[in-house]
Amino acid sequence: KWTLETHVHADHVTAAWLLRQRLGSRIALSVDGGASGADRLLRHGEHVAFGLRQLQVRATPGHTNGCLSYVLDDESRVFTGDCLLIRGCGRTDFQQGSTASLYRSVHMQLFTLPADCLVYPGHDYNGMGVSSIGEERRFNPRLGGDVAEADFAGFMQHLGLPHPKKMDLAVPANLRCGRPEGDVQVPADPGWAQLNFSIAGLWEIAPHALADVAARVQVVDVREPEEYAHGLGHIEGALLVPLGQLEARLPELPRDRPIVTV
């Protein structure tokens, strides 16, 4: 079992460390990523085996200096991370990013793949999950068609995007492969529902999992009264205890069943 990182992310904390703790999966990322705690540091041209298949490692720097793309052994699929997106690409203005490197990575390492090779990017903001090399060669407005490197560089240098809100938290954590600071161990799963242990050290439950156990738990809504009554509404049966009142009202909470806060 492997968790293969495409790069050190800046907008979220990787679950790689948690997956290793819970499932025993190994972590692999670029030797150029600058991260510690990985089980394997990957170089361009290496392969990662899984079952009877392999992924070829291709260095595709530009978004960051340690970006990797993973190509299935028959070149039918490629996982591009934030290097090549559907009709776009990753930004190049932090973490040793480079417009020149990104342009060359896409044209030399990705656009040289077969036209019918499916592209699975790390992000998409328009509800699309997959494209193809042929589509991106033709229709990608930043890198496809006849877009020259100089034009691409000029466009990228004037994006004017703000830095991700959680960048100061995410980058240091991801340089540790997602391991929290200090000596942290994942506690035993409480077992009363399908839960996930977050990087913040809290158990989290998905909406569908909560629906399955709703009759056996107490939901505590910690929003303000106007949020509870309007807007997105509230979960039926939830107890309203605004966050500012929570400590003082702890005696009101039941002790005979799990408590879920929203």
In this structure, are 60 and 154 located in the same domain? Answer: yes
Would residue 133 count as lying in a domain?
yes
Q: Does one domain contain both 144 and 246?
A: no
* 115 and 239 within one domain: no
Q: Is residue 231 part of a domain?
A: yes
Confidence (pLDDT) at 188 = 75
Q: Are residues 165 and 242 in the same domain?
A: no
Q: Let me know if residue 19 belongs to a domain.
A: yes
Shared-domain flag, residues 107 and 234: no
**What is the DSSP-derived secondary structure letter of residue 219?**
E
Q: 8-12, 42-46, 94-98, 163-167: which has the highest mean pLDDT?
A: 42-46
Residues 233 and 124 in one domain: no
Confidence band for 189, pLDDT divided at 50, 70 and 90: confident
Answer whether residue 154 shows pLDDT above 90: yes
**Residues 31 and 123 placed together within one structural domain of the fold:** yes
- Other beta carbons within 10 Å of 255: 7
144 with 211, same domain: the answer is: no
pLDDT on residue 238: 94
Residue 136, helix vs strand vs coil: helix
How many angstroms separate the CA atoms of 198 and 37, rounded? Answer: 18
> How does pLDDT run across 104-121, given as a tens digit for each residue?
999 999 999 999 999 999
Judge whether 90 and 82 are in contact, CB under 8 Å. yes
Instruction: Select the more confidently predicted residue: 214 or 190.
Output: 214
Q: What's the distance, Cα to Cα, between the start and end of the chain in Å?
A: 33
| Spatial CB neighbours of 103, under 8 Å, sequence gap ≥ 6 | 62, 143, 149, 152, 153
**Which residue(s) pair with 47 in the sheet?**
56
Has residue 39 got a pLDDT over 80?
yes
44 lies in a domain? yes
- The enclosing domain of 223 has a CATH number of 3.40.250.10
163 and 95 part of one domain: yes
Tokens of 118: 């499916």
The number of folded domains in the chain is: 2
Q: What are the residues whose beta carbons fall under 8 Å from the beta carbon of 229, sequence distance 6 or more? A: none
Mean pLDDT of 21-42: 95
CB 72 within 8 A of CB 114: no
Q: Is 259 helix (H, G, I), strand (E, B) or coil?
A: strand
Could you tell me if residue 222 is inside a domain?
yes
**CA-CA distance, 27 to 193, in Å (whole number)?**
27
Domain span at residue 227 reads: 195-261
Listed ranges 73-87, 119-133, 158-172; the one with the highest mean pLDDT: 73-87
Kindly provide the b/e burial profile for residues 169-203, where b requires at least 16 CB atoms within 10 angstroms of the residue's own CB. ebbebbebbbbbeeeeeeeeeeeebebebebeeee
pLDDT at 19 over 70: yes
Whether the per-residue pLDDT at 183 is higher than 80: the answer is no
pTM of the model: 0.75
Residues 127 and 89 in one domain: yes
Q: What is the CATH number of the domain that holds 58?
A: 3.60.15.10
Specify whether 29 is located in the same domain as 131. yes
Residue 236 lies in a domain: yes
What's the whole-number mean pLDDT along residues 225-240? 89
Residue 190 lies in a domain: no
Same domain (yes/no): 62, 158: yes
Average pLDDT, the chain: 93
What pLDDT, on the 0 to 100 scale, is given for residue 200? 65
* Residue 221 maps to a domain: yes
Q: Using CA atoms, how far apart are residues 124 and 76, in angstroms rounded to an integer?
A: 20
Q: Pick from 140, 174, 208: which residue ends a domain?
A: 174
Going by pLDDT thresholds of 50, 70 and 90, the confidence category of residue 198 is confident
Query: Side chain identity at 43, as an amino acid letter?
Result: R
**Given this model, what pLDDT does residue 199 score?**
63
pLDDT digits (tens, 9 = 90+) for 78-106: 999 999 999 999 999 988 999 999 999 99
